[in-house]
Amino acid sequence: MAGAADGPLPRRSVCDGKDAGMDGGQSEQSTFKLHSSHWGIFSARRNGDRLDVRPYADDPDPSPMLGNFTNALNHPARIAQPMIRQGWLERGAGPDARRGREAFVPVSWDVVTDLLAGELRRVRDGHGPGAVFGGSYGWASAGRFHHAQSQIHRFLNIAMGGYVRSVNSYSAGASAVIVPHVLGDYSGLTMHNVTWQQVAEETEVVLAFGGLALKNSAVAGGGISQHVERGAIAAARARGCRFLLFGPLRPDMPAEAEAEWINLVPGTDTALMLALVYCLVKDNKHDIGFLERYCVGWEKFEAYVLGVTDGQPKTAAWAEAISGVPAAQIAAIASQLAGKRVLVTVAHSLQRSEHGEQPVWMGAVLAAVLGQYGLPGGGFGYAMGAIGYYGRRNNAVPGPTLGQGQNGVEDFIPVARIADMLLNPGERYRYNGETRRYPDIRLVYWAGGNPFHHHQDLNRLRQAFARVDTLVVHEQAWTATARHADIVLPATMSLEREDIGYSSNDPVMVAMHRLAEPYGEARDDYTIFAGLAAALDVGERFTEGRDSRAWLAHLYERTRSALEAQNLPAPGFAEFWEQGKLVVPQKPDDGGYLRAFRDDPDTHPLKTPSGRIEIYSETIAGFGEADCPPHPAWMDKRSAPDRAAPFYLVANQPATRLHSQLDFGAFSQSSKHRGREVATLHPADAAAKGIADGDIIKLFNQRGACLAAARLSDGVSPGVIQLATGAWYDPQDPEDEKPLCVHGNPNVLTLDVGTSNLAQGCTGQLTAVNVEKFEGNLPPIRAYEPPRGALLKAGD
Ligand code: PGD
């Protein structure tokens, strides 16, 4: 496995993916139909048990993740029929530590619908809708109608009178809260700001904190027709643009960037950015005109940078001691920025750790010090490259959206506080300046997400899920979340239903034709909820008398009538469906709200209290949080390595699947070694631990342990181990309190704490661990086998 140092995993083009079951696009087939996925638009046809897949013809850089569809339809990991945990069936609803440890009993749809409707009625009438957690976070599948979260929220609003929801995301838990305080509009910052075309044409220097990894921009919710990042980066580089990658993983920047790698200790970007500002100020190269006209609070922040307020000037030497980057290198970088069209980018990953608000705020301030906000290709491109629909033009007409109705419950939690909520009902916590209380949840209902993938400290999550009366999960496959449920309802894949694929920053709207019949007795989420709604006497309100096809026509009408209003060709639904796609117009590349703000800050103030960029926030000062001061600052982390756990674990996004989706798919499987997820570490660290390339290793800390396969690479910083998320949790002995995950799910190791009292975001990206060579007999991988009792397939 050595030699693959510069890619997180060997990259294979979709067009040479024969062994992953891809159709190379050589033969003309009339039966290929257009479809969409979060990793791109494609066409496919059923071929026996397999799916032949072709990337979208106009996509210059299609994602090899499409290869995961080829063997997915009939994989044994699919769920074939409704299942109920034996203990729930025999002993009824109630807290139960046997979740995830017991056999399942297959039941018919009629039986499960009856039992579940009864349980929903019991909780609603006995405890009220505020005892239902329907946050149900997760990416689910592309398609605007069968969007699992919209469906579940609509159902709970109509049938239960509401539910406790979650706010923000695991992707951007800290930035979604800090950005409105600093720059006003989060959505505008990410969705309507600097574009890749501007980078290709205008940017002179890109300071990429956390990189611009193409594995991340391969993904875009809803599906996109073109992956443009690689081409734009290559074009910018050919023009002479300089790319600097700040981070511990060299593969976080594509080779086309020919980036200078500033190899820093994970989580120390804020210190390094502070030192860049210090150097700029000392050399009088900060843009004082910009800071005075467009910002508030510079003086207070400058006093902190210079050490006036805390006695510690944030010099390059100070930052070297924290980040490991030589002071001379920091000073040299700072000296080459002024007067250039500089774009500062900060990856989502940086804010997915303790004090994750700081690098985002600090990135915004560094960009202000350089004064390039609002200029083409300059300023602050937060999260550029993190998702494929960032850095692109916006569509000029609205897309289809399923209304979710009114939620009668006001209560919510920040999404990553789910285990805290279930373990500590009634307990107080702080969030964005408020003191709130966790609700007392009896029933958790999940559709379209996998908390046993996305949450931290999975052993703690198991304890949390043991506390509820009932856990209901709709799933396509036997994920660990499904295995921990009481009631498991088999859901179709998008390939097995009709839908509309759409993303608001991509012009191609796709008529997603059905490519295969549902697996076993699987039903789409809409049909499942329609059945339950009928059993709860609200069937008509939920369906509004429409079947799926009628809903698609109804949702499409929003776009059609907007086109008509603009005197543009506006084909009816039947024509759209027949054609397979519709290309919608896009708005001009106008630089968004930051350009308007630069042009005239009085007419177009930011949506911050001052209307300016808030380098110092009086609002945050008023919150009085010790872990989130009123201006960006460097703070030590609890998760930093120590003697017991001397390595940083970077648990980042995978390159061969989206999160945990289709981990059993051919492309994801092709990246495993001896069945395990691959962890990358520096050869010097491996040598010190007696680990050779390809060895099975055990990663461990006080929270848990998992196995992985070692790959050695100097593309990873010494002292760092990289293990992507998404390998399905596979406890060696589920009876244990802290079982060994034999497969390589890093979330058995991560710390379940919020970023700070301000945002309470997910901190899963960085954790301290230890590592050793695994010498025992290699346990089998059972994550993709149906659990006990679930072996019956439909028709058996
Ligand atoms: P997915 O694997 O996409 O992960 O967490 P998320 O829960 O979104 O889960 C989606 C699930 O939905 C899959 O199990 C899939 O089978 C199911 N599904 C797909 N389509 C349908 C459908 O139509 N109906 C139903 N009922 N189910 C469906 C992602 C989350 O993980 C995110 S966004 C991020 S950014 C976080 N990243 C990290 C990280 O960087 N580091 C760590 N340690 N942890 C993270 N967790 C977070």
pLDDT per residue over 647-686, tens digit each?
Answer: 999 999 999 999 999 999 999 999 999 999 999 999 999 9
CA-to-CA distance for 649 and 669, rounded, in angstroms? 22
Q: Which two tokens stand for residue 31?
A: 């039966």
Q: Is the pLDDT of residue 20 over 80?
A: no
Output the residue whose Cα is nearest ligand 1's atom 25: 448
Phi/psi at 625 (5° precision): -80, 125
Atom of ligand 1 at shortest range from CA of 659: 2
pLDDT confidence tier of residue 788, bands split at 50, 70 and 90: confident
Q: Which two tokens stand for residue 5?
A: 């140092």
Say how many Å lie between the CA of residue 746 and the centre of ligand 1.
14
Of 783, 788, 89, residue with least CA distance to 470: 89
Q: Which two tokens stand for residue 607?
A: 């949506």
Output the residue whose Cα is nearest ligand 1's atom 29: 454
Output the residue whose Cα is nearest ligand 1's atom 31: 454
Of the residues 659, 668, 703, 728, which should be mutated to test ligand 1's pocket, given the most ligand atoms within 8 Å of the CB? Answer: 659
Does ligand 1 come within 6 angstroms of the Cβ of 460? Answer: no
CATH architecture of 647-773: Beta Barrel (2.40)
Say how many Å lie between the CA of residue 165 and the centre of ligand 1.
17
Does ligand 1 come within 6 angstroms of the Cβ of 170? Answer: yes
CA-to-CA distance for 305 and 650, rounded, in angstroms? 29
Residue in 88, 137, 186, 318 annotated catalytic: 137
Q: What SS3 class is residue 74?
A: coil
In the prediction, which pLDDT does 639 show? 79
Of 660, 677, 720, residue with least CA distance to 251: 720
Residue ranges with strand state E in 513-663: 581-583, 613-614, 647-650
Does ligand 1 come within 6 angstroms of the Cβ of 764? Answer: yes
CA 135, 138, 144, 148 torsion: positive or negative? negative
Residue in 39, 56, 88, 139 annotated catalytic: 139
Of the residues 458, 473, 514, 660, which should be mutated to test ligand 1's pocket, given the most ligand atoms within 8 Å of the CB? Answer: 660
CB 281 within 8 A of CB 275: no
In the prediction, which pLDDT does 792 show? 52
Say how many Å lie between the CA of residue 469 and the centre of ligand 1.
24
Q: Which two tokens stand for residue 278?
A: 């210090």
Atom of ligand 1 at shortest range from CA of 137: 7
N-to-C CA span, the chain? 42
Select 175-392+592-623's CATH number: 3.40.50.12780, 3.40.228.10, 3.90.79.10, 2.30.30.90.
3.40.228.10
Output the residue whose Cα is nearest ligand 1's atom 46: 454
Which residues, 6 or more positions from 27, have their beta carbon under 8 angstroms from its beta carbon? none
CA-to-CA distance for 500 and 143, rounded, in angstroms? 5
CA-to-CA distance for 472 and 152, rounded, in angstroms? 11
Q: What SS3 class is residue 136?
A: coil
Say how many Å lie between the CA of residue 150 and the centre of ligand 1.
15
Q: Is the pLDDT of residue 12 over 50?
A: no
Does ligand 1 come within 6 angstroms of the Cβ of 420? Answer: no
Say how many Å lie between the CA of residue 480 and the centre of ligand 1.
12
* Residue extents of the structural domains in the chain: 1-62, 83-167+415-501+518-545, 175-392+592-623, 647-773
Atom of ligand 1 at shortest range from CA of 139: 8
Does ligand 1 come within 6 angstroms of the Cβ of 37? Answer: no
Q: Which residues of 703-712 are buried (b: 16+ CB within 10 A; e: fewer)?
A: bbbbbbbbbb
Q: What SS3 class is residue 109?
A: helix
pLDDT in tens, 131-170: 999 999 999 999 999 999 999 999 999 999 999 999 999 9
Burial of 348 (0-12, 13-18, 19+ CB in 10 A): buried
Of 573, 584, 521, residue with least CA distance to 550: 573
CA-to-CA distance for 326 and 260, rounded, in angstroms? 14
Of the residues 149, 153, 168, 170, which should be mutated to test ligand 1's pocket, given the most ligand atoms within 8 Å of the CB? Answer: 170
Does ligand 1 come within 6 angstroms of the Cβ of 747? Answer: yes
Does ligand 1 come within 6 angstroms of the Cβ of 746? Answer: yes
In the prediction, which pLDDT does 791 show? 57
CB 387 within 8 A of CB 215: no
Write the DSSP string, 544-569: TT--HHHHHHHHHHHHHHHHHHTTS-
Neighbours of 579 (CB within 10 A): 12
In the prediction, which pLDDT does 637 show? 86
Does ligand 1 come within 6 angstroms of the Cβ of 659? Answer: yes
Q: pTM higher than 0.75, yes or no?
A: yes
Of the residues 152, 171, 445, 450, which should be mutated to test ligand 1's pocket, given the most ligand atoms within 8 Å of the CB? Answer: 450
CA-to-CA distance for 559 and 413, rounded, in angstroms? 33
CA-to-CA distance for 32 and 106, rounded, in angstroms? 35
Q: Is the pLDDT of residue 793 over 60?
A: no
Burial of 7 (0-12, 13-18, 19+ CB in 10 A): middle
Does ligand 1 come within 6 angstroms of the Cβ of 761? Answer: no
pLDDT in tens, 745-781: 999 999 999 999 999 999 999 999 999 999 999 999 9
Q: Is the pLDDT of residue 10 over 70?
A: no
CB 207 within 8 A of CB 386: no
Which residues, 6 or more positions from 546, have their beta carbon under 8 angstroms from its beta carbon? 554
Mean pLDDT of the chain, nearest integer: 95
CB 752 within 8 A of CB 460: yes
Could you tell me which residues are beta bridge partners of residue 472? 445, 487
In the prediction, which pLDDT does 741 show? 98
Which residues, 6 or more positions from 736, have their beta carbon under 8 angstroms from its beta carbon? none
Say how many Å lie between the CA of residue 451 and the centre of ligand 1.
7
The stretch 306-319 carries a mean pLDDT of 98
Helices 148-155/525-535 angle, 10° precision: 10
In the prediction, which pLDDT does 415 show? 98
Q: Which two tokens stand for residue 631?
A: 């201006």
pLDDT in tens, 564-619: 999 999 999 999 999 999 999 999 999 999 999 999 999 999 999 999 999 999 99
CA-to-CA distance for 529 and 448, rounded, in angstroms? 13
CA-to-CA distance for 175 and 186, rounded, in angstroms? 8
Write the DSSP string, 175-194: HHHHHHHHTS-HHHHHHSSS
Q: Which two tokens stand for residue 375?
A: 């200029």
Of the listed ranges 27-31, 258-262, 337-341, the one predicted with least confidence: 27-31
Atom of ligand 1 at shortest range from CA of 349: 40
pLDDT confidence tier of residue 233, bands split at 50, 70 and 90: very high
CA-to-CA distance for 208 and 249, rounded, in angstroms? 12
Which residues, 6 or more positions from 91, have their beta carbon under 8 angstroms from its beta carbon? none
Please say if 139 is a catalytic residue: yes
Burial of 795 (0-12, 13-18, 19+ CB in 10 A): exposed
Does ligand 1 come within 6 angstroms of the Cβ of 449? Answer: yes
Write the DSSP string, 210-231: T---HHHHT--TT--S---HHH
Rounded (10°) CA dihedral 71, 76, 82, 86: -150
Of the residues 219, 454, 750, which should be mutated to test ligand 1's pocket, given the most ligand atoms within 8 Å of the CB? Answer: 454
In the prediction, which pLDDT does 2 show? 33
The stretch 488-497 carries a mean pLDDT of 98
pLDDT in tens, 391-440: 999 999 999 999 999 999 999 999 999 999 999 999 999 999 999 999 99
Query: What is the percent of the chain with per-residue pLDDT over 90, rounded to a whole number?
Result: 94
- Decide which of 639 and 341 is more confident: 341
Residue 66, CA distances (Å) to 8, 248, 662 in order: 18, 28, 10
SS (H, E, C) 763-784: CCCEEEEEEEECCCCCCCCCCC
Does ligand 1 come within 6 angstroms of the Cβ of 661? Answer: yes
Planar angle of CA 412, 415, 417, nearest 5 degrees = 90
pLDDT in tens, 703-751: 999 999 999 999 999 999 999 999 999 999 999 999 999 999 999 999 9
Does ligand 1 come within 6 angstroms of the Cβ of 453? Answer: yes
Q: Is the pLDDT of residue 24 over 50?
A: no
Say how many Å lie between the CA of residue 71 and the centre of ligand 1.
20
Say how many Å lie between the CA of residue 659 and the centre of ligand 1.
5
pLDDT in tens, 71-99: 999 999 999 999 999 999 999 999 999 99
Q: What SS3 class is residue 35?
A: strand
Does ligand 1 come within 6 angstroms of the Cβ of 140? Answer: yes
Select 83-167+415-501+518-545's CATH number: 3.40.50.740, 3.40.50.720, 3.90.550.10, 3.80.10.10.
3.40.50.740
pLDDT in tens, 346-387: 999 999 999 999 999 999 999 999 999 999 999 999 999 999
Which residues, 6 or more positions from 343, have their beta carbon under 8 angstroms from its beta carbon? 194, 199, 203, 205, 206, 207, 372, 377, 378, 379, 380, 381, 384
